Amino acid sequence: MIEVIIADDHPIVRAGLKQIIMEQADISVAAEAANGIDLLRQVRERDYDVILLDLTMPGMDGLDVLKQLRIEKPRIPVVILTIHPESQYALRILKAGAAGYLTKASADGELIKAIRKVHRGGKYISPSLAERIAFALDEDTRKLPHETLSDREYQVLCLIGTGKTVSRIADELALSVKTVSTYRTRILEKMRMENNAELIHYAVQNGLVE
């Protein structure tokens, strides 16, 4: 039996994922967590076979949780589930150590395959993402401006790209307005831009936001 723990701050999402898993004879939902801190506490108390981790959660987001899991529990495969389009976070998430990456929209058809594959020691990505990675290998190796950003800076850039204010981003990431403003300043400097309007235009043109 493959024992799975689900970490997502939305009870309805957890219930939907459980429903998909319950139909399988070889997989069970052994535990649930409503946020990253709760997930880390539970995996410290006992081991699970696979972790299903939401990327966007209050307090400690999925990327930070993933990095901590790679330090504390490197042998447990983590499948990231997110509402964000694959082009926005997938490559960064996989480089950070995730064993799989799925959009929630595709979970119904791909979740079980992903759990079984990562449990066997493999990596799982959707066919569309695999194709995108293959094409990326053929492209010029020079980094685009947003690829020079740290993970947190990139996250703030994507949120700015959706038109959110500094205060709104601070609330969403559980950071101070001053901290987010500092990230914004670094982003503008690294990307050699002057204001939010230029950042939004860049994010839209490069497919970083929907």
| DSSP code string of 106-118 | GHHHHHHHHHHHH
Rg of the chain (C-alpha set) = 18
Contact assessment for residue 65 and residue 44, using Cβ atoms and an 8 Å cutoff: no
pLDDT tens column, 123-155 = 998 777 777 666 665 554 567 889 889 989 999
Q: How far apart are CA 119 and CA 195, in angstroms?
A: 45
Note the pLDDT tens digit of each residue in 12-25: 999 999 999 999 99
User: What tokens does 209 get?
Assistant: 């936001």
- In the block, tokens 């293959």 appear at 134
* Average of per-residue pLDDT values in the chain: 89
pLDDT confidence band for 63 (50 / 70 / 90):
confident
Q: What pTM value is reported for the model?
A: 0.69
Mean pLDDT of 46-64: 90
Mean pLDDT, residues 57-83 taken together: 90
Could you give the domains of the chain?
A: 2-136 (3.40.50.2300), 145-205 (1.10.10.10)
